[in-house]
Amino acid sequence: MSGLDRFVATFLDLEVGLRYGPQILEGLVTTVGIGLAVVATGLACGLALAVLRAFGMRPVNFLLIQIVDILRALPPLVVVLIIYFGLPSVGVVIPSAVVLWLSLSAILAAFSEEVFWAGITSTPTGQWMAARSTGLSFLQTLCYVILPQAVRVAIPPLTNRTIAITKNTALGSAIGVNEILGQATSAEAFSANATPLLIASVLYVLIFIPLVIASHALERRHAVWRR
């Protein structure tokens, strides 16, 4: 058997692909569902934390900054395992898919908070003063004048960070979540063939390549706006 024949037999076995393809597609649904939930929750929480930080309450800000820094410093897998094994020790048992969602959402919230905060602080002080001089309250100024600019500036870096974190849904395989990689590795073990892993790789490319292209488009659009 030639090298090409061995490659085809190992990675392109049609019988194995047809047998385990539906199972891996079920994992695709799980991956997309968790990924969308992570993006929605992480970005919303990150924006809320940045707004809270803007009020300048020192004790709150000190605690917030420490938590954000810890979440940004820890590897995502460590966060997933801490929550997965830590909560049951205090009597809280939740499904592994929820653990993955909470872990990745917390990490995305930490990174997006810093990005939104950078957008808020990059807004010229004169805009704050001008808005307040018209009679707007601090909260109104923040919501109607500052945040629209901060969010627009934050979009390009947020897209890259969001894609990087949502790809970590593959970590769900470490705690028994039946997402793409979990289903593929299970199929690979039962079939003793790597075709399921190749199918999983193709599905990841189909999911994330459009997101990468969209992120490049957003970066170009907002780079033009800044000029």
Q: Over the stretch 12-46, which tens digit does the pLDDT of each residue have?
A: 888 888 898 999 999 999 999 999 999 999 999 99
pLDDT at 176: 87
Which of the four pLDDT bands, split at 50, 70 and 90, describes residue 222? low
Could you tell me the CATH number of the domain that includes residue 140? 1.10.3720.10
Number of independent structural domains in the chain: 1
Q: Using a pLDDT cut of 70, give the percent of the chain over it.
A: 96
Taking each helix axis from N to C terminus, what angle separates 147-166 and 195-226, rounded to the nearest 10 degrees?
A: 160
- Residue-level pLDDT at 7: 76
What is the extent of the structural domain holding 189? Answer: 3-226
Q: How far is CA 102 from CA 35, 91, 93, 131, 168, in A?
A: 11, 17, 13, 37, 12
Q: What is the pLDDT of residues 156-189, one digit of tens each?
A: 788 888 888 888 999 998 898 989 988 999 998 8
User: What does the alpha-carbon distance between residue 161 and residue 10 come to, in Å, rounded to a whole number?
Assistant: 34
Confidence of residue 223 (pLDDT cuts 50, 70, 90): low
Model pLDDT, residue 217: 79
Mean model confidence pLDDT for the chain: 88
Q: What does the pLDDT read at residue 126?
A: 87
Residue 224 clears pLDDT 50, i.e. is over it:
no
* Cβ atoms of 197 and 184 closer than 8 Å: yes
Q: How many CA atoms lie within 13 A of 100 on its CB side?
A: 27
pLDDT of residue 227: 45
> Which residues, other chains included, contact 24 with Cβ-Cβ below 8 Å and sequence gap of 6+?
180, 183, 184, 187, 196, 199, 200, 203
